[in-house]
């Protein structure tokens, strides 16, 4: 869309229509999970906001548009965390607001994209509220965040809230097929990413992903086994791989779910579609009750990890209980 990677065309079209109608707010919140191209959407929206030709924004021809596309428009300012800091504090916000009082260089508007609303401290958010008192007309803030609750209600209620939901499997598939024409795991990736297109980038970039998946999935029959000695083998794996225990449990849960949907007659809903043979064996070897019980124990193990119980202990506990 206008050369930007956008997964929510309806939302952006709507926002752009409003600009063309001369309707524009001083603050927007782009909320949604990681991996949905919210930042790219914010860049396109900012681009349209500063275009010289309001009725046809973004015209893609004016000086402002050309600079926006190149990422060099001085009237679009991206605000992230400062060097060596993990948050944006009062000082950072005050500096931004002081700068915001200077008129745009040459565009009609001046747009600040706050890359991560979740790292703005509550005190800094309070300082930010000053902006809403008498904002200059040219000023627009786009706050990108994962959860709206990360922002104070006083900010939320004064901004236009734009919610980015997970997208359809077709959009994810399109993204993967265009970007990775040689990828052979497309069906699996589409299901695994579950509506978050950029999740595919992370998986494809990880060389160890398939090895991990193989190893983790091979633990499932061990956890389900009546022979409890196998529970110790699962625990051994988690002892060696404690840092990725949470992800490993997610993989196990998906695999158990695959076996369940297969035994209930909906094999088309399987996520690990490249492991159908093994899933069929699981589905025919264990009752749905047993698979569900296993899933419950894995959910419990995940909770234990959150409470800092050793990963190996959680796996052993799950293996003995299932």
User: For binding to Zn ion (CB under 5 A), which residues are involved?
Assistant: 51, 53, 59, 62, 65
Minimum distance from residue 51 beta carbon to Zn ion (Å) = 3
- In the complex, what is the shortest distance from the CB of residue 159 to Zn ion, in angstroms, rounded to a whole number? 25
Neighbours of 68 (CB within 10 A): 26
The number of CA neighbours under 13 Å toward the Cβ of 74 is 6
Residue number with CB closer to Zn ion (53 or 274) = 53
Cβ-based nearer residue to Zn ion, 53 or 187: 53
CB of 175 to Zn ion, least distance (A): 27
Which of residues 51 and 124 has its CB atom nearest to Zn ion in the complex? 51
Concatenated DSSP letters of 224-238: H-SSTHHHHHHHHHH
Least distance (Å) between residue 50 CB and Zn ion = 8
* Smaller CB separation from Zn ion, 108 or 230: 108
Sorted by sequence, the CB contacts under 8 Å of residue 202 that are 6+ apart come out as 35
Q: CB of residue 57 vs Zn ion: minimum separation in angstroms? A: 6
Instruction: Compute the C-alpha angle 40/44/47, nearest 5°.
Output: 140
Number of other residues whose CB lies within 10 A of the CB of residue 73: 24
Q: Which is nearer to Zn ion, 1 or 97 (CB)?
A: 1
Contact 31, 71 (CB under 8 A): no
Q: Considering only CA atoms, which of 135, 134, 68, 61 is closest in space to residue 105?
A: 68
């Amino acid at each position: 869309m206008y050369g930007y990677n956008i997964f929510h065309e309806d939302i952006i079209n709507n926002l752009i229509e409003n600009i063309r109608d001369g309707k524009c707010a001083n603050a927007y919140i782009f909320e949604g999970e990681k991996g949905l191209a919210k930042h790219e959407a914010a860049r396109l929206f900012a681009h349209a906001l500063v275009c010289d030709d309001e009725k046809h924004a973004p015209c893609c021809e004016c000086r402002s548009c050309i600079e926006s596309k190149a990422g060099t428009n001085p009237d679009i300012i991206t605000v992230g965390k400062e060097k060596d800091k993990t948050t944006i504090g009062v000082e950072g916000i005050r500096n931004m607001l002081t700068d915001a009082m200077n008129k745009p260089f040459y565009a009609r508007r001046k747009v600040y994209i706050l890359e991560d609303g979740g790292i703005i401290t509550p005190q800094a958010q309070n300082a930010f509220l000053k902006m809403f008192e008498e904002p200059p007309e040219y000023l627009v803030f786009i706050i990108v965040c994962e959860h709206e609750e990360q922002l104070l209600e006083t900010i939320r209620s004064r901004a236009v809230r734009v919610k980015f939901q997970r997208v359809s499997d077709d959009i994810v598939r399109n993204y993967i097929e265009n970007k990775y024409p040689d990828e052979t795991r497309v069906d699996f990736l589409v299901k695994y990413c579950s509506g978050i297109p950029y999740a595919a980038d992370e998986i494809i970039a990880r060389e160890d992903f398939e090895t991990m998946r193989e190893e983790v999935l091979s633990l499932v029959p061990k956890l389900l086994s009546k022979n409890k000695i196998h529970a110790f083998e699962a625990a051994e794996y988690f002892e060696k791989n404690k840092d990725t225990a949470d992800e490993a449990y997610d993989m196990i849960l998906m695999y158990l779910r695959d076996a369940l949907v297969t035994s209930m007659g909906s094999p088309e809903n399987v996520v690990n579609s490249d492991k159908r043979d093994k899933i069929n064996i699981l589905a025919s070897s264990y009752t749905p009750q047993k698979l569900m019980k296993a899933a419950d124990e894995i959910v419990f193990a995940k909770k234990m990890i959150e409470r800092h119980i050793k990963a190996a202990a959680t796996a052993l506990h799950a293996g003995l209980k299932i």
